[in-house]
Amino acid sequence: QKEVEQDPGPLSVPEGAIVSLNCTYSNSAFQYFMWYRQYSRKGPELLMYTYSSGNKEDGRFTAQVDKSSKYISLFIRDSQPSDSATYLCAMRENNAGNMLTFGGGTRLMVKP
Amino acid sequence: SAVISQKPSRDICQRGTSLTIQCQVDSQVTMMFWYRQQPGQSLTLIATANQGSEATYESGFVIDKFPISRPNLTFSTLTVSNMSPEDSSIYLCSVVSGNSYEQYFGPGTRLTVT
């Protein structure tokens, strides 16, 4: 079993839909949680960064962390075709230097 | 956030040759890393580039194959040596700046080995 599991998709939604992207993990020591967006042939772009449990909102994006369930989510409201990309979750322990563990990525397609 | 550039952006190389990839950051950063992303896969950490000392390699990666330099706080190079088609991948530079735990990635170098 991988340390971080993420459904590879593809996930196809119509423009304007609410998108829910999720990751589960097994390591209870993870404290820092990140979401990256990666367009084809580009490097990953940091979207959201949260520490421990709770919610964080930034524009159309909301990140949720539920440490009791070892489950994190990224919600995208009013999705746009420009949101079409691969979304990677990543996480890190508190005292692991900066060693990130990545999920496999979910490919999202938003259709006009 | 830090602005990261990589050179070259892509290259096609012959088996048995070596390629050096450069990573330049627009500000001094505390930590720099090199990742590999094989086609359709997630990111795998190759090594942490340490300024003024030898890089720290992850399991499965060795210095002879992936020598790394980091002469200062804004620049690093990764060399892919004695390449084989299995080295075809995207190579990504990544940095953490200051006291933030936020980690940023460069645009990547797409390497194809024939």
pLDDT in tens, A21-62: 999 999 999 999 999 999 988 899 999 989 888 899 999 999
pLDDT at B98 over 80: no
Indicate the pLDDT class of residue A95, thresholds 50, 70 and 90: low
Structure tokens given for A7: 């459904």
Residue type, A112: P
Chain B contact present for A34, CB below 8 A: yes
Taking the C-alpha atoms of residue A5 and residue A16, their distance in angstroms, rounded to an integer, is 27
Cis amide leading into B107 (omega within 30): no
Among A98, A102, A103, the residue with its CB nearest the CB of B31 is A98
Closest by Cα among B103, B111, B94, B99 to B46: B94
Angstrom distances, CA of residue A19 to CA of A65, A88, B6, B27: 16, 14, 32, 35
Q: Does B8 lie at the interface with A, CB-CB under 8 angstroms?
A: no
pLDDT at A63: 97
- Residues of B within 8 A of A99 (CB-CB) are 45
Please name the residues in contact with B90: beta carbons below 8 A apart, sequence gap of 6 or more. Answer: B36, B37, B38, B108, B109, B110, B111
Task: For residue A23, report the phi and psi dihedrals to the nearest 5 degrees.
Answer: -140, 145
Out of B42, B105, B107, the one facing A104 most closely (by C-beta) is B42
**What integer is the mean pLDDT of B66-78?**
95
Q: Is A42 on the interface with B (CB under 8 A)?
A: yes
Report residue A26 as tokens.
Answer: 């097994």
The alpha carbon of residue A97 and the mean position of all alpha carbons in its chain are separated, in whole angstroms, by 21
Give me the pLDDT at residue A98, please. Answer: 64
The torsion angles phi and psi of B75, rounded to 5 degrees, stand at -145, 145
pLDDT tens by residue, B28-66: 888 899 999 998 888 999 999 988 888 999 999 999 999
pLDDT higher than 90, residue A105 = yes
pLDDT at B100: 67
In b/e form, how buried is each residue of A43-62, taking b as 16+ CB within 10 angstroms?
A: bbbebbbbeeeeeeeeeebb
Q: What is the mean pLDDT of chain A?
A: 92
State how far the Cα of A12 lies from the Cα of B17, in Å rounded to an integer.
41
Residue A96 has pLDDT above 60, yes or no: no
Average pLDDT of the residues of chain B:
92
The residue of A4, A7, A100 whose CB has the most chain B CBs within 10 angstroms, and thus the best one to mutate to test that interface, is: A100
Q: Which of B103, B109, B111 to mutate to test the interface with A (most CBs of A within 10 A)?
A: B103
User: Is the pLDDT score of A7 beyond 60?
Assistant: yes
What pLDDT score was predicted for residue A89?
97
CB–CB contact B102 A97 (8 Å): no
Say if the Cβ atoms of A34 and B102 lie within 8 Å.
yes
From the list B68, B67, B64, the residue with the least C-alpha distance to B51 is B68
Say if strands B109-113 and B10-13 run parallel, antiparallel, or are unpaired.
parallel
Residue B113: what pLDDT?
A: 97
**How large is the C-alpha radius of gyration of chain A?**
13
